[in-house]
Every structure is written in C-alpha cells, then in structure tokens.
Amino acid sequence: MLLSLLVLALAQNVAQPSPTAPPDLPAAIQLAQDGRNAEALAALQKIVAANPENHTARLWIASVHARMGHPDVAEAVYHSVVLEDPGNVDAWVGLGNVLLQQDRVVEGLDALRRAEALSPENPNVVASLADGYRLAGESTQSISYYQRLTVLAPTTTNRMTLENARRQHEHRFESQTYGEDYNGVTPATRGSDLALNYRLSEPVRLIGRAQLQTKADRRENRAGGGVEWRFTPWGTVTGQVLVGGDNRVMPQNDFLGRVEYGYHRATYTGTLRYFDFFGANVVMFAPAATVSLTPHWTVGGRYAFTSTDTAAVTGIKSHTLDLRAARELRPRIWLRGGYVRGIDNFDLFSIDQIGEFRAKTATVGVQVLLPSLTAIVANYDYQWRGNGLTLVSSPSIPDQRMWRINVGLVQAF
C-alpha cells in the first residue's frame, strides 16, 4: 500500500510542472511588446534567476526598466551585459539610449559609436546616433545619419523624421498674408509679413524681416532684423529690432528679446518686448510653455503682461491668457486651435490694442507639411472686443467683432 502511494505521488509530479518553473521567454517578450511592463518584468526576472547567463532576457529587463522610467536601473543591466559580452550590439545601443535619456550625451554617443564599430549598417545603431547627435546640437552630423537611416530602412516614419530635422536646420523663407474685417464702419485691414531665416553657422542664424499693412486707411510698413544664437543644444537666445519711423498705427519701433529652452517634450519661452508708438509706449513680458503630450498631441499656454504709458496716463495694465492645442490628424497634416483672452497676436500689435485691451479670440487652423520641405498654414480667427480703453484717446466700440484669415508659407532650403 505504501509503495502504491509513492508511485502515485511520483506520477503526479511528472504530469504537473513545478509552479516555480521559469516562464517561457517568448511569452515574457510578448508581454513586454504588449505594454504589460510589470507582468513582463516579473516573468523575465524569473527566467534570469533560473539562468543568469541568458543575455536576451537581461536585455529585455533593461528595456522594460527604461520604458517604466528607470533609466538608471536599465543602465546597470546594460553595463553588466557589455562587460560579459563586449560584442553585443543590442547592449551597446540600449546603454547609449538610456544614457541619452539621462542627458549624458557625451557618454551616450561614446556607447553608440562602439555599437557602430561592431555593426555600422544596423538601422537601430544609425537611428540612435542620429538622435544622439541631434541632442548634442550637431545638426549637420545628425541629418547625415537620418539620411543613412532612410536608405537602410526607407519607412514613412524615417522619411518624415529626416524632413523634420531638415526643416529645423536649413535656411527658411517665411511669408504670411492676412486680412481683417470688422462689423460696423471700421475699415478692413490687409497686410503681409516676410522673413528670411539664414543659418550662418551651426549655432547662429540671421533674421531679416519686413511687414506691410493697410489699417485704419493708412498704408504703413516696418523692417529690420535680428540674430538667433543657440547657446546650448537645448537653448536659444533671439534678439530682433523692427523700425517704421513714420508709423501711426503700427509701432514705430519694436524691440524683442527671447530665451527659449527645450527639455525632452517641453519647450519653455520667456519674451520681453518694447513697443514705441506715436505718443505711447508698451512693455510686454510673456512666459510660455509648450508640451508634446504624445507624438500626435501638443498643448501650450502663454501669459502676457503689458504696461502702457502715454503722455496723459502711465502704468495702464493689461493681462493676456493664450491657450493652444494641435492634433496630428494624419501624417503631415495638423489641426490647430486656441482661445485667447486679451491681445491675441503681438506680431500684429497696433495702436487700437494698447492700454486695457479687452477681447476674446477663438482661432482654428490647419498646417500641411509637404515632402518638399514646404509648410502651409491657414488660420481663421474670430474676435469679440468688449468695453475698455483701447485707443489712447477714445473708448472702444461696444460689441465690436473682427474676422481674420491668415495664410502662411514656410519654405526650407
């Protein structure tokens, strides 16, 4: 009887696998690919506990940690693999990427160059080096790697990544044409804004700009230029001066200073601007931020404070809140919208908007990015203007409405 029980127990142990047996590696990898990170990590750790020499499982552990926002842990795992297997390309690529993720660009590029020495035609290596050189501020080198990537892996995503890099790097010609119509007897406004953004060197760009406008039955213009200097791979400083000495509606002088800093998915901007009108001057300060929530969604906000001085009154305060959002409907086509309470466009700032300007503006538009490095933008703005001091010498028209159509073109070359 005892012998029979022992035989039955042994048969059950053979028929049923041990509950502590390590999971299947392909199944654990599938969990990771499905985005079930916590489950994948637990399964992969069991596999490695049973076989510490399983480099594939360890690399997937590092990858999951990186996706879960633990780049320091991922770095340690990648380091352990490259120490044991210096010829493992995937380990060097992973190590380089998590170092870039931690903004350790020099170390990240060094790891990626080691991967390139082992496998120079590997698309993952080339893509990571392109991103690394972009983060280092070496745009020319970055674009050369993006070009190699489109040859090795000519996917739509890779081609568009190259196009976007070239849009930011190349010289640019920018033009805008706009028209404003009002209810009541206010005459229509028509205008154009032209600019040339010329890349003088890797960190320095020169800007030439001219504006022409017919508003309040006056035809006016102003022109000038500026300099944009990239002082770090993520930060730029811009200075610009526009002058129109005989203007009465547009500013006679417009001085702009701007600092912009991009960090991962967010870009922060601070702008200081001085407008000199005929009989008044305005100081504007505006902090702003834009965040890419996903590759297909971008949101942004700006607050602007203005203080106006005239010969009769000083320190007239105005506050502006500007909220924007953009959604990529399909590759190369973006839908944009926003709401502004206050001054909606300081590039079109005019004498009727100084002082305690009260307005609400809704805006909607579309941006089309063409493979020729041409960007076409069309916007429609609808504005309600309330009571308040807008003109220096007279009150605003109650319940005034304004409609604006703005069509722009940006050509990189």
Instruction: Summarize pLDDT for 99-130 with one digit per residue, the tens.
Output: 999 999 999 999 999 999 999 999 999 999 99
d(CA 376, CA 209): 19
Tokens of residue 340, six digits: 């502004």
Task: Render pLDDT for 172-209 as a digit per residue (tens, 0 to 9).
Answer: 999 999 999 999 888 999 999 999 999 999 899 999 99
Query: Mind listing the domains of the chain with CATH numbers?
Result: 24-162 (1.25.40.10), 170-412 (2.40.160.40)
| pLDDT value for 392 | 41
| pLDDT value for 387 | 55
Average pLDDT value for residue range 252-269: 95
| pLDDT value for 245 | 87
| pLDDT value for 23 | 65
Task: Render pLDDT for 364-402 as a digit per residue (tens, 0 to 9).
Answer: 999 999 999 999 999 999 999 875 444 443 444 557 899
d(CA 196, CA 386): 37
Report the b/e string of 47-65 with b at 16+ CB within 10 A.
bbeeeeebbebbbbbbbbb
Report the b/e string of 203-239 with b at 16+ CB within 10 A.
eebebebbbbbbbeeeebbbebbbebebeebbebebe
Average pLDDT value for residue range 54-76: 92
Average pLDDT for the chain: 90
User: What is the residue-wise DSSP string for 184-227?
Assistant: TTPPPEEEEEEEEEEE-SSSEEEEEEEEEEEETTEEEEEEEEEE
Average pLDDT value for residue range 223-246: 95
| pLDDT value for 398 | 59
| pLDDT value for 386 | 74
Could you tell me where the beta strands, DSSP code E, fall in 245-332? 253-263, 266-277, 280-294, 297-310, 316-330
Choose among 404, 13, 411, 14: nearest CA to 215: 404
Alpha helices in 251-352 (DSSP H): none
| pLDDT value for 400 | 87
> Angle at which helices 123-135 and 89-101 pack, to 10 degrees?
20
Q: Is the pLDDT of residue 5 over 50?
A: no
Q: Is the pLDDT of residue 312 over 70?
A: yes
Per DSSP, the three-state class of 72 is helix
Q: Is the pLDDT of residue 65 over 60?
A: yes
Task: Render pLDDT for 159-177 as a digit per residue (tens, 0 to 9).
Answer: 999 999 999 999 999 999 9
Report the b/e string of 323-334 with b at 16+ CB within 10 A.
ebebebeeeeeb
| pLDDT value for 32 | 84
> Which H helix or E strand runs over 8?
helix 2-15
> Angle at which helices 89-101 and 105-118 pack, to 10 degrees?
160
Share of the chain above pLDDT 90, in %: 77
Q: Pseudo-torsion of CA 92, 97, 101, 104, nearest 10°? A: 50
Per DSSP, the three-state class of 366 is strand
| pLDDT value for 395 | 45
- pLDDT band of 264, cuts 50, 70, 90: confident
| pLDDT value for 177 | 98
| pLDDT value for 17 | 37
| 27 against 3, higher pLDDT | 27
Helix, strand, coil shares of the chain as percentages rounded to 5?
A: 35, 40, 25
Average pLDDT value for residue range 60-76: 92
| pLDDT value for 40 | 86
Average pLDDT value for residue range 61-90: 93
| pLDDT value for 34 | 87
Q: Which residues pair with 213 in a beta bridge?
A: 191, 220
